[in-house]
Structure 1
Amino acid sequence: MPEGLGGRPPREADHGLGDRPAAETGVLRPHAEEEYAGELARLAELDERPRPPGWRLSPWAVSTYLLGGELPDGTVIGPKYVGSRRLIEVAVATLATDRALLLLGVPGTAKTWVAEHLAAAVSGDSTLLVQGTAGTSEESVRYGWNYARLLAEGPSERALVESPLMRAMRLGSVARIEELTRMPSDVQDTLITVLSEKTLPVPELGTEVRARRGFTVIATANDRDRGVNELSSALRRRFNTVVLPLPDSVDDEVDIVARRVGQIGAALELPEAPAGLEEIRRVVTVFRELRSGLTGDGRTKLKSPGATLGTAEAISVITSGLALAAHFGDGVLRAADVAGGIVGAVVQDPATDRVVWQEYLETVVRERPEWQDFYRACREVS
C-alpha cells in the first residue's frame, strides 16, 4: 500500500476543533460533520438499527438526520432538507447497495447540500470531493504523481498522489463528484471500472486499489447541462438516479430560504432572517412566477428570463439584502435592500432579460397594492 495513503488526512477535527462553533474557530463555513457533530453523535449513540458495513449510522438514522425528527430521548434533529421523504429514503437505500447515486435536478434544488450531508452521515467525512469542470483531468479522478519524486525515483508508491476517489476507496468512505456532466466524456468514463469492479488499477506500479466496505460515490448533475457532456449508457447504468425537484409550495421554499439564510447570517453576524420574512416571501414569489411563466393566481402568463432563478439564488439575494440592512440601514430587511439583488439575479442578459423584467414589473408588481414599496425600489435600481 502506498506510503501515507492508508490513513485519513489531517483535519481540524483531528486537532480538537471539530466540535467548536464556527464563530469560535473563525471558519466561515464548517463541513457538515463539524457543524452538526452533536446531532450525528447523538444519533449514533441512540441508533440501534442495523448499519451497513462501513456506515456510521443506520439508513433510518441517516434519513432522520437529513429530514429531521425527534429521538426517543427527546433530542430534536433539525431538518437539513425540506422535501419528499421518499426521495431521501430512495437515495439512502441506494447507498446501501453496490450502485452509485446520481442526484439530478435544475440549479437550486440542493443537490450539493444533500450530497454533503449524506456523506457526513454515512461515513463522517464529506471532504472527499472531485469538482467537475470542463478542465477536470483524468488524474483528478484517478491519481497523479509528485513529479519531483517521479523524476528522482521513477514510478513508486512515494511518488503516487491519490485522488479523493482513490482515498475514499482505501478508507471505505463516500466520494463526492460535483457537476459530473461538466467533465469531459473520456474523464467520466474512467469511473466505469471503479463503479463496476470496485477497483482502481495502477498499471505503472503493477498493482490496484480495492475499495473497502462502505465505499460509494455520490455525484450531482445539472438538468440544464444536458447535452454538454452526456453520460455514456455504460456509465449511467452504474448510477441510480434520484431527481430532486424544486420546492412544491411557496411556504416550503420560504422555509428553506429562511433556514439557510439564518445559518449564513449567523456566521456573518447579520440580522436574523425572521425580521425580513415578508421580503423573503416576495423574493421567492417573484422567482417562482418568473421561472414558471405564470403568476401565483394562475391568471397571467409571463415571459421567463434565461437566468436561473432557483432557491440558491433567492438565498443569495436575501443574504446580500441582510448585509445592506445591517451595514447601511436600521438592521431590518426592507424592499430597498433586496431590489438591487433581485434585478441583478433576473437580468443576466441585458438585451432580453431586461425586457422580461420590465414587463413583469409593470404588469404584475405594479398592480399589487401591498407591493408598492417593492415596485418603487425596483424601479429605482432598474
Structure 2
Amino acid sequence: MTLSKSASTENHLRLHAEQQFAHELEALSQVDERQKPPNWKLSPWAVKLYLLGGTLDDGTEITAKYIGKERLIEIAIATLATDRALLLYGIPGTAKSWVSEHLAAAICGTSTLLVQGTAGTDESALRYGWNYARLLAEGPSPAALVESPMIDAMRTGRIARIEEMTRIPSEVQDALITILSEKSLPVPELNSEIQAVKGFNVIATANNRDKGVNELSSALMRRFNTVVLPVPDSFDDEIQIVQSRADQLGRALELPAEKPALEEIRRVVTIFRELRNGVTEDGKTKLKSPSATLSTAEAISVVSNGMAMSAYYGDGELKAGDMISGLTGAIVKDPVQDQLVWQEYLQTVVKERDDWKDLYRASRDFSG
C-alpha cells in the first residue's frame, strides 16, 4: 500500500483519513503478515490496531481513532469481512461517521466512495444515472451511464459509505436491497448487470434523534449487522477524546493558541455529562436536561471555538470567557425551554462551585 501526502494537500482544510494518517497505514502494511480477506489492504488485526491505537515493534506510534469499547470495533471489522453490510447506529455525535471513514481507509485505502443521505437523495446516488446529452444523441449505452460511488465500489471490490441513511426516503433506501442481497445491480436499459467484486461491502450510518427520520424497512435491516456506538461511558475517556480531537483541529486550523488546558476540558465535559445524565457527578443534585444531545462532538466544538476566541481575542490561553459563547450555543437550542435549563444549572451548580466562579461571572457578562 503506497499512500503519500502530496504537496497539493498542504492547504486543504481537512484531509481524508487515508491522507492524514498515510504514514500509519504504510507502517502497518509493512509489518502486517496476517491473513487478509480478499482485496483488503490490511488484515483485521491491523485494521483494529489502526482504529484503537498502539505501538508497533519498530516504535511507530499508531494513534487511537476511536476510544471506547474494543469489542464494538472487533464486531464492526468482522462484519465487513462477511457478506453482511455494517450499520453504525446511535445518537448524533458518537463518532459514527469518523469510525466509518477510518474503517474504509484502513480496509480499502479510500474513504471517498461516499453517498451523503438527505431528503433529496434519489436512486441515482445509490445506483446510476445518465448523461442525458449522450443518452439523447446515442441512446442507452455504457458511455452514457453515470456510475454512482456504489457501482465504483462494486467494480473494484472496495467499501462504499452511506451517511445518514435514515435521511434518505424509504423508497430510495429499498434500492439497496438487491445490491446487498444479490451483490449485483441490474441495468435493464442495457440488458446487463454489474456484479460486485470480492471485497465489496457497505458501511452505513444512522442516528435515532433527528426529526423527520425515515425508518429502515425490516427487509433492509436484515441485510445489515447493526453496531450501536454509545456516548463514552467513562469520564476520563470522554476527556481524552475531546483533548485529542481539539488538539488535532487546532493544528489543522493553525490556531495561534496554546493547547487547551486539561482543567478547562474537564469543565466542559463535566457540564455536558451532568446535563446529559440529569444529575451532578456526585449524585447529590438532580438536574433538568436540555433538548440538545450534548454529544462528545459538540464538546469538541465548544473547546475548538474557545481556542479560536482565545487566539484572536484573548491572550492565547483558553479561559472561561472564551468558552461561554460556545457552551451556551451548544446547550440552548430551544430559546425558551433550554434557556431555563441552562440558567437553573448556572445558579444551582456553577455558582456554588468555588473553582467555577470565573465561569459563572463569564456567563453573567455574556448574558448581560
Fold-level match, TM-score > 0.5?
yes
8 Å contact kept, 1:200–1:210: yes
CA distance in 2, matches of 1:275, 1:126: 30
Give the letter for the 1:92 counterpart. Answer: I
Q: Offset of 1:300 from its aligned partner? A: 1.0
State which of 241, 247, 265 in structure 2 corresponds to 1:256: 241
Q: Offset of 1:194 from its aligned partner? A: 0.3
CA distance in 2, matches of 1:67, 1:317: 25
Is 2:173 aligned against 1:216? no
8 Å contact kept, 1:119–1:125: yes
Is 2:26 aligned against 1:49? no
Give the letter for the 2:5 counterpart. Answer: D
Is 2:42 aligned against 1:40? no
The secondary structure found in structure 2 opposite 1:107 is coil
CA distance in 1, matches of 2:239, 2:143: 51
Is 2:155 aligned against 1:155? no
For 2:96, the equivalent position in structure 1 comes to: 111
Give the letter for the 2:346 counterpart. Answer: L
Q: What is the correspondence of 1:100-249 to structure 2 with a 5 Å cutoff? A: 100-225=85-210, 228-249=213-234
For 2:317, the equivalent position in structure 1 comes to: 332
The secondary structure found in structure 2 opposite 1:101 is strand
Q: Offset of 1:308 from its aligned partner? A: 2.2
CA distance in 2, matches of 1:320, 1:232: 39
Would the alpha carbon gap of residues 138 and 257 (structure 1) be closer, same or farther in structure 2, given more than 3 Å must change? same
Give the letter for the 1:94 counterpart. Answer: T
Would the alpha carbon gap of residues 232 and 307 (structure 1) be closer, same or farther in structure 2, given more than 3 Å must change? same
The size of the alignment, in residue pairs, is 367
Give the letter for the 1:309 counterpart. Answer: L
For 1:90, the equivalent position in structure 2 comes to: 75
Which stretch of structure 1 is more off in the superposition, 222-231 or 294-303? 222-231
8 Å contact kept, 1:181–1:225: no
For 1:313, the equivalent position in structure 2 comes to: 298
CA distance in 1, matches of 2:356, 2:7: 39
Is 2:274 aligned against 1:289? yes
8 Å contact kept, 1:262–1:272: no
Cα deviation digits, residues 38-89 of structure 1 (max 9, x gap): 1101101100100000100000000000000111222221111101111100
Would the alpha carbon gap of residues 365 and 184 (structure 1) be closer, same or farther in structure 2, given more than 3 Å must change? same
CA distance in 1, matches of 2:135, 2:346: 62
Give the letter for the 1:185 counterpart. Answer: S
CA RMSD of aligned residues (A): 1.7
The secondary structure found in structure 1 opposite 2:261 is helix
Is 2:40 aligned against 1:70? no
Give the letter for the 2:146 counterpart. Answer: V
Q: Offset of 1:270 from its aligned partner? A: 1.5
Which stretch of structure 1 is more off in the superposition, 135-144 or 59-68? 135-144
Among the aligned pairs, what percent are the same residue?
66
The secondary structure found in structure 2 opposite 1:158 is helix
Unaligned runs of 5+ in 2: none
CA distance in 2, matches of 1:194, 1:273: 49
CA distance in 1, matches of 2:332, 2:72: 33
Is 2:5 aligned against 1:19? yes
The secondary structure found in structure 2 opposite 1:82 is coil
Q: Offset of 1:276 from its aligned partner? A: 2.2
CA distance in 1, matches of 2:258, 2:317: 9
Q: Offset of 1:154 from its aligned partner? A: 1.3
State which of 351, 366, 372 in structure 1 corresponds to 2:351: 366
Q: Offset of 1:150 from its aligned partner? A: 1.2
For 1:8, the equivalent position in structure 2 comes to: none
Q: TM-score, normalised by structure 2?
A: 0.97
8 Å contact kept, 1:271–1:332: no
8 Å contact kept, 1:261–1:273: no
8 Å contact kept, 1:51–1:58: yes
